Chain A
Amino acid sequence: MSALPPENSWIAFLANSSDLAAALPTWLLAALGLVFIYGAIILPSGAIMSYLDRKLSADFQARVGPNRAGPAGMLQPLADLLKLLQKEASSAEWNWREALWLGVHTMALYSTVAVIPLSSSALLVNTDMSAFLPLWAALVLALGTMLLGFSQGSVPGWFGGVRVAAQALAGAFPALIAVICAGIHAGEFRWSTLAGAQTASPLTWTALCDPFQFIAFVVFVLGGLVMLAVPPMDAALSTQDIHGGVSSHLFGRRLSLFRLGRFYGFFLWSVIAVVIFLGAWTLPFGLAELLREQGRLWLVLALEVGWLLAKTFVLMLLVISFARVSPRGRVDQVTDFSWKVLSPFALLALIGTALWSGWGYLP
């Protein structure tokens, strides 16, 4: 499969779709597209994952799980959201600093919507370094979260903030190396190239094509958990000693914003893991070419996004089930794990991949 040209990004796709769209300026089209991605893909994914997470945990724990709101409890995420929205703030005073840093943290997080690769025709930023942008965003997110914690002026917020920063720094290094491994295999850090290096067959997926890439894949996923403080690596948000750290003083709307942000971080990370390691959006049986020849571009887009999201959900559920049975680590153990276990293995994977890919070029 050849790399898709940049003009094949979804802006061009949108602009070509109708006369009205062609008449609109590009920036407006881009903004509309981003809002659409956020509202039609990320929010529903959050609701679906929150439901699946609860049901899976309940099944693990010999419980029933949500089963009252809607059929089989499927409206529970919506009910929770409504409940959180009508909660009162913990103090009557408007905390400017908290609002400011929550805003920064949220903006840093959602700036990545522009980069998120969802299908071969839904790539807004498809530059030769775009695979690193989410990493950068995750670090900015950690900074925002840290300052959000500091702004609360409480001991739990302070510790939570410092721990978030420590975990983000510890997780970023091995995750970065793991991305480089995938880049060596594909030859470039462009989304389309990373995805194009893999076909629909699992044996050609980057994670499974050689043993070092598999190590890189595991390191990437675990590094992401450390970086974004996802359970069971969520020492930064531990409820037992620091009441959930940064979120200890957040209530109602702000808490739902924060929670959705945490989910989004995890979701983004899983999407990227799928794109660069698990075969991306490539449809099986050459469906994409078949449909494209027939001119059904929208159907290709929908199928590719659906296939990518399905793989992402499976990966997330795997991580969640792993989190359900493992006790939470202490923050120094989590960072130790990242520096002393993930990083050496990431470097091993880097050397191994370099040798594996460069073997033919050696004299």
Chain B
Amino acid sequence: MRGSVFSAIREYLQDVYRRFQSIWGSLITAVPYLWGVGEQRKEVTEQYPDPVSSRTADDLPARSRGLLVNDIDRCTGCKECEKICPVQCIRVDTEAGADQSKLWVARFDIDYSKCVFCGLCVEVCHPQSLVHSKKFEGSVYELKDLVASFGRGFVTAEQRAKWAAMRQQAENDEVFP
């Protein structure tokens, strides 16, 4: 009977049947979602920024790479982060401070317009002062506002002279106690 009129008609009818059957099959898969039957068919929309259903910074996992925060009290100004940064978004300026052992971090700027949040700077930070916070909402109106500054500020000439004297003093104390 192959190739005859009847088989052609049969194939045609089968095709029409499959067309409607597949619509029916798709519908019965999707229809349980209308009522959210079962735990796996619940709505999953996160209504950001409404905290009712969307996740807030506290819900993020511990390793989340959010905006960077530098604890300037612990920062030694070693510039490891500046050197490893793949996009050169960190800029650190240091100078000798009042204390012999610690540098004065005058500038510690992170340019978020360049940052790719790769986390390498955090990984190389020995004093562990630079960490990722969980904060992720960083939009601003001006491009220049994307620079986060953690530095202590540049020192004046007299301050610098004063610190040099203090260091000298400390050195002298060490040599001639």
Contacts and interface: CB of A to CB of B under 8 A. Distances in A.
Interface in B68-104: none
A63 B42 CA distance: 8
A256 to B, nearest CB: 26
The binding surface of chain B is classed by DSSP as helix
B132 to A, nearest CB: 31
A324 interface: yes
A322 B27 CA distance: 7
B43 A62 contact: yes
B33 A60 contact: yes
A128 B35 CA distance: 45
A62 B44 contact: yes
Contact of B45 (A63, A321, A345): A63
A345 B35 CA distance: 35
Given A326-B23, A341-B16, A341-B19, A63 B43 contact: yes
B114 interface: no
Interface residues of A, number: 17
B34 A64 contact: no
Interface in B26-52: 26-27, 29-31, 33-36, 41-45, 47
B33 A321 contact: no
A60 B45 CA distance: 13
Nearest to A61: B33
Interface string A53-94: 000101111111001000000000000000000000000000
A61 B31 CA distance: 10
A59 B47 CA distance: 15
B26 to A, nearest CB: 4
A325 B27 contact: yes
B30 A325 contact: yes
Contacts of A61: 33
**Size class of B's contact patch?**
10 to 19
Nearest to B28: A325
A56 B34 CA distance: 7
B48 to A, nearest CB: 12
Interface in A313-363: 321-322, 324-326, 337, 341, 345
Given A59-B33, A341-B16, A326 B26 contact: yes
Nearest to A325: B26
B142 to A, nearest CB: 26
B46 to A, nearest CB: 9
Nearest to B40: A62
Contacts of B42: 62
Contacts of B29: 325
A229 to B, nearest CB: 18
B27 A62 contact: no
A58 B36 CA distance: 11
Contacts of B23: 322, 325-326
Given A59-B33, A59-B34, A64 B27 contact: no
Nearest to B32: A60
6 contacts: A60-B33, A60-B34, A62-B42, A63-B43, A325-B26, A341-B16
Interface of B: 16, 19, 23, 26-27, 29-31, 33-36, 41-45, 47
Interface of A: 56, 58-64, 67, 321-322, 324-326, 337, 341, 345
Given A62-B42, A62-B44, A63-B43, 15 more contacts: A59-B34, A59-B36, A60-B30, A60-B31, A61-B33, A62-B36, A62-B45, A63-B44, A64-B45, A67-B47, A322-B23, A324-B30, A325-B26, A325-B27, A345-B16
